[in-house]
Amino acid sequence: MDAPQPIDLETWPRRQHFEHYLRTVPCTYAITVEVDATEFAAAVRRAGRRTYISQIWALAQLVNRHDEFRMTLDAADAPAVWGRTHPSFTIFNAERETFASVWTPFDPDYAAFHDAAAQVIAEHAGTTEFFPQGAPPPNSFDVSSLPWTSFTGFTLNIDGGSGHLAPIFTLGRYVEREGRLLLPLAVQIHHAVADGFHTARLVTEFRELLAHPDWVTD
């Protein structure tokens, strides 16, 4: 694993914002949106692919497109950017009513990632361990799913999490409205690394990926 690349603070436009929201006024925020997933759901069904894995890949593709969602603090407590980050995601054990956290290396090739993630899920589906693969790598971000309910708001309360700079995504159950399938998506992010503009851009790009899901069947 490559070390994160330090940011040149002398030229970084976000330096003052970062320092303010990380140290002076530690601040995270969350936004919940509904994303039209009608075309996406149909494409996944036609291709015989798995919905959750496909959602995870789409989010990972976007996280790896933008530096602000791959940020961390280096050993000197200075801001740095991972070259690539990998999704860590939850899988549910219905018998125990608990979940495990697993991860799969991100691959920009959707089909390759899908197959690798499906193998990880199959291998650990009945696990009794919280982290059956061991601790996820430091260059990872979290995705979880609540397929049992839709929601219009979702916020995580992370005690002492002011140094957690990676985004956290929560997906909900589809809701049908006027013939369209809508997917609840909650994004939690540290204000030190991203403003509303950056998160809104990611949401817009996620909408576009789901509206034009050619990548599912290519």
Give catalytic residue positions: 191
Which residues, other chains included, contact 110 with Cβ-Cβ below 8 Å and sequence gap of 6+? Answer: 54, 57, 215, 216, 218
Residue 167's alpha-carbon distances to 52, 83, 155, in angstroms, are 18, 15, 12
User: Residue for token digits 């204000």?
Assistant: 191
Query: What's the CA gap between 83 and 5, in Å, rounded?
Result: 7
What is the Cα–Cα distance from 120 to 101, expressed in whole angstroms?
Answer: 11
Q: Which residue has the tokens 């436009």?
A: 13
Q: Where are the alpha helices (DSSP H) in the chain?
A: 15-19, 38-47, 51-63, 110-124, 196-211, 214-217
